[in-house]
């Protein structure tokens, strides 16, 4: 699956000067990346991002950025047949217990899926949004491999140079 267009991301203020680093995800882990694996979590639209920021509660301090993206070869996690090839289901993607498992040091199936996708050569995946309040069909893109010489090219929209150091 290919994607061309805008993507949106909320950065923790600590990482705002490194909008392409994936460092926060590498340090803390996420639904689709184990600790130690850098990742960018990107919303396909601003409304989805709004729900991702609040995580079902109050908004947290964030720096919001937009990217222009040209990405080829994404895994489509909305395709049940493709998920089945990796022994995953939609219900497995939505498992609300992933974070508890991660903190207990247990296997997290969505993180295992991500590692299998990386090994299979996918730069990232289009995944459902699991944020409370997100509309049905809301999607995000998670990238594990990105950069100028990769299948996932992102250009930060920063016409006034506000995030340049």
DSSP, collapsed to helix, strand or coil, labels residue 106 as: coil
What confidence score (pLDDT) does residue 56 get?
60
- Residues in Cβ contact with 82 at an 8 Å cutoff, skipping those fewer than 6 apart: 75, 76
- CB of 60 within 8 A of CB of 53? yes
User: Where does residue 35 fall: left (phi above 0), alpha (psi -120 to 50 degrees), or beta otherwise?
Assistant: beta
Average pLDDT of adjacent 10-residue blocks, the chain of 165 residues: 97 86 94 98 96 78 94 98 97 96 97 98 97 93 97 95 76
Question: CB atoms < 10 A from the CB of 59, how many?
Answer: 10
Q: Which residues pair with 66 in a beta bridge?
A: 8
For the chain, what are the domain ranges?
3-156
């Amino acid at each position: 699956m290919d994607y061309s267009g805008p993507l949106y991301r909320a950065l923790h203020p600590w990482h705002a000067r490194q909008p392409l680093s994936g460092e926060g995800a590498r340090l803390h882990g996420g639904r689709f990346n184990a600790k130690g694996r850098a990742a960018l979590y990107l919303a396909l639209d601003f409304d989805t991002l709004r729900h991702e920021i609040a995580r079902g509660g109050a908004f947290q301090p964030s720096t919001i950025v937009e990217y222009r993206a040209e990405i080829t070869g994404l895994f489509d996690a909305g395709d049940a047949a493709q998920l089945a090839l990796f022994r995953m289901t939609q219900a497995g993607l939505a498992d609300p217990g992933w974070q508890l498992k991660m903190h207990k040091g247990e296997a997290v199936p969505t993180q295992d899926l991500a590692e299998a996708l990386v090994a299979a050569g996918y730069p990232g995946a289009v995944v459902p949004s699991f944020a409370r309040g997100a509309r049905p069909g809301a999607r995000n893109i998670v990238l594990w491999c990105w950069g100028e010489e990769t299948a996932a090219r992102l250009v930060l929209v920063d016409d006034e140079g506000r995030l340049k150091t």
